[in-house]
Structure 1
């Protein structure tokens, strides 16, 4: 047992030596070409992951707004502790196969972490990472130190009993999203051992702001064609624009033009056209081709003023994408701990706020890791409440002879009195 400093807190953490020594070294400095190359590789696998995530969620209807970067980063921290087949499925789902053979994603992350310290464009998107560990959980020091360095993550070991741990995690999320996301987890169960969290925050004014006096009530047509009123911001100015056979796109710059908001508008109405366009242009290769082909064009722009809040547990979506193994008793995270653990839940929350001044957006992703359930684990009983008509069978277990059977539709009649009689 060793003492570790976690953001001015001194705690006794049950962090034990890993049987495998660490091979990861955080670079002391990174040249511009190496950093640019790392960014290009990261954008490819994050974008491809994001397309797959959208594809797995878009059929649910309603507003959909996710941060591929936030979800990917949180899962990358977990990937660092995965082994065997679990590591392979993580690599596939996170699209790490796009990296050149032999390239270590952790080394790439280290290059990006160090390089971003002097990259002003990266400071537009403020990302923070943290790891929260139950004080009785045995976690390997290699996993903690590698993840802490590569992702610039803060680490805290604490009691998970009561609401204290939940409150601390949520306070951290609230602080790092400037209050846009108040909380990301509601509770921690006795089996939960570790929570890995990423937050992402963005706020920028438009390079060409909309005049509030030009904002008017206009119709916005829902997916079925039903009109609804919205506050439509308007301006005529030059923007980068692209016109394709199935959609047109405009890219709106912020004050720091390293950040832009791309709007993709399908030319056909209906759910199928919307999903087809999303699937095509969120593909990394298509997206980059569109951005490269845009031309500076005079545009009469109308953009709704709106705020979207999105919340989703991503377990099902990630299972569809191929990560199902990580949620089962067959998961292998032997680089995190000697204990048998699995992912309990991946929780994702986002906020997008667009008005005449600019855009504010935030995301939080929490990956909760828990102990695997044993066969005899009775901590979580299967619910079985007989609250509707039922069938009853009275039988002899030895012979399987049925002596009575029936359908009970009403239990509100006169109560029997056998218990008051002599047997």
Structure 2
């Protein structure tokens, strides 16, 4: 777009021009972006965890996509996105440093489990994209850029994007973009895909798995395949404030683990979810101790597909979805976001966990030695996270109402 550019930061409209670009150490940057992603993740999850249904999602994937769009936003659109992404108080240069730090950590992978993530920008081949925006996405987000013939071949483009996502997620996420989501008016699609597969550090013995009652509610029960294992050095805790038990089950290498939150009451999950904050989470994780724990965990598999426009609007990103108000001039002319699609998959068994997710935003024109045995019996609805201990963020969050 001739003459347009991404706001440079200091003194530019829409950015916190009064805020100095403070020098941040690596540790400070890691802490700031970790806090931002956790706060955003819990916000998205709470708005999505409604009703009595299972849920699984990757707020980190959603954050990555919205961060890529925020990099080209301006005016009120930028301010709203910055606030929702929990980056208010930092100028443009610092924000990009923080987002680059997060993206680099996400893409670093792991030696002991399979963890991959990828970003991709699909602009309309008929429309000019601001060169500086392309540079930012390439440098800060390591995003590939592939122009697409949305104007003439929308369905073929939709299939090509879905094929890319399916490949990135080991064929676990199919058709993240549903029928009709791409039209000749599509100006751009921004995508993040994440895939995880890890084996438990202490595996469950398959012969110990038995049919056991699981109580979706106080008045109902179903039979599930319940895994059982005595784990000698599991991180275990109880929160009186949250009225729940907490168990951390590490995967091989112990850089990533599953954190389970089991309410004391059969129907206590909703209260727990809505009350949980980053501060509670940090306290719970820090205060968990190595214990010998008899762990009972149901095998489960689920797939969730979400549209997140309404959720993101409730978090404050209002103008972004309004054709008349959206300012994405740092990306290209007359763009706004029509919808954000998210799809996630998880399978948990005796060996470990396999999980994948993809997010696509479509823009339109216009230890102590244990001496006791604790019990963690997940026989009623619980919440869980696949937690990256290195960057202290949840890669995935879910709830099991009925395995």
Match of 1:291 among 277, 280, 285: 285
C-alpha distance 37-17 of structure 1, shift in aligned 2 (>3 A): farther
The match for 2:388 is: none
Q: Given the superposition, is the C-alpha separation of residues 70 and 294 from structure 1 closer, same or farther in structure 2, using an over 3 Å criterion?
A: same
CA contact (8 A) 2:113 2:196 kept: no
TM-score, reference length from structure 2: 0.80
Mapped to 1, the partners of 2:58 and 2:130 lie a distance apart of 29
1:63 aligns with 2:19: no
Q: 1:349 deviation in Å?
A: 0.5
Cα distance in structure 1, aligned partners of 2:73 and 2:112: 28
Compute the TM-score of the two structures, normalised by the length of structure 1.
Answer: 0.77
Mark the CA change 1:50 to 1:122 in structure 2 (over 3 Å): closer, same or farther: farther
Find the aligned partners of 1:324 and 1:120 in 2 and give their Cα distance.
Answer: 37
Distance 1:18 1:43 in 2: 36
Instruction: After TM superposition, give the deviation of residue 248 of structure 1 in Å.
Output: 0.5
Question: Structure 1: how far apart are the matches of 2:92 and 2:136?
Answer: 19
- Rounded to whole Å, the distance in 2 between the matches of 1:117 and 1:308 is 25
The corresponding residue for 1:125 is 115
The residue number in structure 2 matching 1:52 is 43
1:81 maps to 72
Map 1:88-107 onto structure 2 (within 5 A): 88-97=79-88, 104-107=94-97
1:183 and 2:175 are equivalent in the alignment: yes
| 1:150 to 2:140 alignment | yes
1:244 to 239, 243, 264: 239
| In structure 2, distance between residues paired with 1:173 and 1:119 | 18
Change (3 A) 1:123 1:46: farther
> What is the CA–CA distance in structure 2 between the aligned matches of 1:350 and 1:173, rounded to whole Å?
11
Using the TM superposition, give the Cα deviation of residue 120 of structure 1 relative to its aligned residue in structure 2, in angstroms.
4.2
Distance 1:341 1:82, change over 3 A: same
Q: Pairwise mapping of residues 265-284 of structure 1 onto structure 2 (< 5 A)?
A: 265-270=262-267, 273-281=268-276, 283-284=277-278
Question: How far 1:95 moved relative to its partner?
Answer: 1.4
Distance in structure 1 (CA, Å) of the matches to 2:135 and 2:195? 25
**Structural RMSD (CA):** 2.2
Change (3 A) 1:355 1:316: same
Q: Is the 8 A contact 2:72 2:331 kept in 1?
A: yes
Matched, 1:164 2:156: yes
Matched, 1:332 2:332: no
The CA deviation at 1:23 is: 5.5
Q: Pick closer, same or farther for the CA change 1:363–1:231 going to 2, 3 Å.
A: same
- Report the CA distance shift for 1:200/1:35 in structure 2 as closer, same or farther (over 3 A): farther
- The answer to whether the 8 A contact 2:176-2:343 is kept is yes
Q: Deviation at 1:35?
A: 3.9
The alpha carbon displacement at 1:173 in A equals: 0.2
Distance change >3 Å, CA 295–CA 75, structure 1 → 2:
same
Distance across 1 between alignment mates of 2:357 and 2:171: 11
Is 1:309 the counterpart of 2:303? The answer is yes
- Alpha-carbon distance in structure 1 between the residues aligned to 2:3 and 2:113: 34
Decide whether the 8 Å contact of 1:35 with 1:115 is kept in 2: no
Contact 1:116 / 1:122 at 8 angstroms: preserved in 2? no
- Tell me, yes or no, if the aligned pair for 2:209 and 2:225 is still in contact at 8 Å: yes
Q: Is the 8 A contact 1:184 1:349 kept in 2?
A: yes
Counterpart for residue 391 of structure 2: none
- Structure 1 residues 37 and 121: CA distance shift in structure 2, 3 A: farther
Contact 1:124 1:259 in 2 (8 A): no
Give the 3-state SS of the residue equivalent to 2:57 in structure 1. Answer: coil
Q: How far off its partner does 1:163 sit?
A: 2.2
Provide the rounded CA distance (Å) in 1 between the counterparts of 2:57 and 2:111: 21
Matched residue SS, 1:322? coil
Counterpart-to-counterpart distance in 1, 2:113 and 2:137: 21
User: Counterpart of 1:174?
Assistant: 166
CA distance in 2, matches of 1:49, 1:126: 21
Q: Which residue of 1 aligns with 2:395?
A: none
Structure number with the bigger relative contact order (C-alpha 8 A, sep ≥ 6) is 2
Is contact 1:17-1:141 (8 Å) kept? no
Report deviation, 1:371.
Answer: 1.1
SS of structure 1 residue aligned to 2:359: strand
Q: CA deviation at 1:60?
A: 3.3
- For residues 137 and 123 of structure 1, the distance between their equivalents in structure 2, rounded to whole angstroms, comes to 40
Structure 1: how far apart are the matches of 2:91 and 2:127?
Answer: 35
Report which of the two structures shows the higher radius of gyration computed on alpha carbons. 1
State the match for 2:252 in structure 1: 255
Pick which of 51-60 and 131-140 moved more.
51-60
